[in-house]
Structure 1
Amino acid sequence: MADKCYIHLLGLISIYYFTGTSGEEVINVFCSDGLNVTLLCGDAPPDCRSTMWIYNKDNKTGVDLFTKGIKQMDHKRVSLGSYCSLNIYKTTIEDHGLYTCRQLNTDPYTDVNVYLHVLHVSLSSTQTEIKAGRNVTLSCQLYFFDGYDCEGLLHEDGFQIIWVNEFDVNLQSVSRYQISSSTEHCNSSLTTTLLNEDNNRELRCQIIKGTEVKTSDRYTVKYLVQKHN
């Protein structure tokens, strides 16, 4: 897996621009759990002396990350990049939310609102053994800003959550996989009975639009090797 999550890296991250109702610039960013991501700040001055970054997870009071280029809290995984972009190192599901880049040198000030959506695949907490003959259930969750509408994101904007194998075969059409999705909770689950040949098999959950992969997270099946005396 690549160790950076910039927009030019083969679909690991994708950015979409549109204009909000009040004229702010709005950006949607899709990234996978564990990757580095850079959030752009529009036409920010390079010295960042008039730039703020504000983080908001749940439509409540925001947290100041940077004010006039100075870090406001002890957050080791965030830093400023070129033209006041915000770098997040090893993104986690806790990083999802709204990031606002605010320029204080204009009257009124101008905002760029960046929504960071984080994709994460996990094994069901009820799984006790991973081996041939056992059922396995994987959950693929898209974590997003609490004030965002997943139904609109996935349907109105044309995005989909799908499962594929390491050969990019869509598993929706493979009968041995049972897949169910919920736009209310922005997730998709996959259940299958494991076969002998599934050891080391990679299952991927992807966010796509049309034929383009926007981001992807994966789970590799690992069987416990029995030791013989």
Structure 2
Amino acid sequence: MKMKMMVCPPSFTVRVGDEVTLPCENVIDGQQRCENTTWFFVGSGNRSAVELIKLGQIGENAKSKSDRLSVTENCSLVIKKVTVEDVGRYSCRQYKQKEGQQQAPDSPVHLSVIIMIEHKDADEVTLTCFVLKYEQFCGLTVKWLYEGKDVDKDNKDMKTSQSVCSATVSFLDSHFSYKSKSNLKCEVTDGYSGKVQLFTFSPQSLFLSP
């Protein structure tokens, strides 16, 4: 008996506060204002879907996000100033214009966010890079790089550790200037697609929706 492989939808990882464009892979050509397109959202830990975009217009339950949401000419979903509350599964659904029936299977996409935190204890500085994501499968690998190399290579003054979706690096503040910190990058690798992203160190607060 053959094991069925788990297929993961496309995944995007961005910083908190960034802008992201999520593609609609099943879009019907010829739409004037995405009048056949509806975008659904299911947040992490929540199984009820919310209509963000309903037939090209901002959904009734997404009014609080209306200043951050829009659709492009090809009906991709644009989210500005991404927050931790935007982490989740997005689905683009196409409807026939007259019949109101679903035209094709949903086109799903996952959105994750990366957060960096700096903590100082006496003279020791600890930097943490972690990713919030929708589901635990289709794992992401997170690690710190210094000048393009793993921090545990040729950097005896640095200590590093990794866990699920996060990585930390610690060092004495007196050994590194701010410029040195800018040489630290958080590398996020998508285990399913193989996509690798590098994020330069920059401490952040958790952006929450108003």
Distance 2:200 2:111 in 1: 15
1:68 aligns with 2:59: no
Distance 2:78 2:35 in 1: 17
- In structure 2, relative to structure 1, the CA distance for the partners of 1:215 and 1:118 (3 Å cut) is farther
Which of 66, 78, 84 aligns to 2:69? It is 78
| Paired residue secondary structure (1:35) | coil
| Matched residue type, 1:213 | V
Tell me which residue corresponds to 2:125. Answer: 136
| Matched residue type, 1:137 | T
Tell me which residue corresponds to 2:11. Answer: 28
Query: Residues 31-46 of structure 1: matches in 2 within 5 Å?
Result: 31-45=14-28, 46=31
Distance 1:87 1:102 in 2: 16
- The gaps in structure 2 that reach 5 residues or longer are 204-210
Tell me which residue corresponds to 1:189. Answer: 168
Tell me which residue corresponds to 1:205. Answer: 186
Is contact 2:26-2:94 (8 Å) kept? Answer: no
- 1:217 deviates by 4.5
- 1:197 deviates by 4.4
Which of 184, 187, 199 aligns to 1:216? It is 199
Is contact 1:161-1:208 (8 Å) kept? Answer: yes
- In structure 2, relative to structure 1, the CA distance for the partners of 1:53 and 1:212 (3 Å cut) is closer
Tell me which residue corresponds to 2:110. Answer: 115
- 1:117 deviates by 1.2
Q: TM-score, normalized by length of structure 2?
A: 0.75
Tell me which residue corresponds to 1:15. Answer: none
1:97 aligns with 2:105: no
- 1:128 deviates by 6.4
Is contact 1:121-1:217 (8 Å) kept? Answer: no
| Paired residue secondary structure (1:195) | helix
- In structure 2, relative to structure 1, the CA distance for the partners of 1:32 and 1:215 (3 Å cut) is farther
Is contact 2:115-2:129 (8 Å) kept? Answer: yes
- The gaps in structure 1 that reach 5 residues or longer are 1-18, 155-159, 221-229
1:51 aligns with 2:37: yes
- 1:20 deviates by 6.9
Percent of residue pairs identical: 24
| Paired residue secondary structure (2:81) | coil
Which of 169, 179, 187 aligns to 2:160? It is 179
- Aligned residues between the structures: 182
Is contact 1:119-1:217 (8 Å) kept? Answer: no
Q: TM-score, normalized by length of structure 1?
A: 0.69
| Paired residue secondary structure (2:24) | coil
Is contact 1:33-1:90 (8 Å) kept? Answer: yes
| Matched residue type, 2:36 | S
- 1:77 deviates by 1.0
Distance 1:195 1:136 in 2: 10
Distance 2:190 2:9 in 1: 19
- In structure 2, relative to structure 1, the CA distance for the partners of 1:161 and 1:81 (3 Å cut) is same
Distance 1:149 1:39 in 2: 20
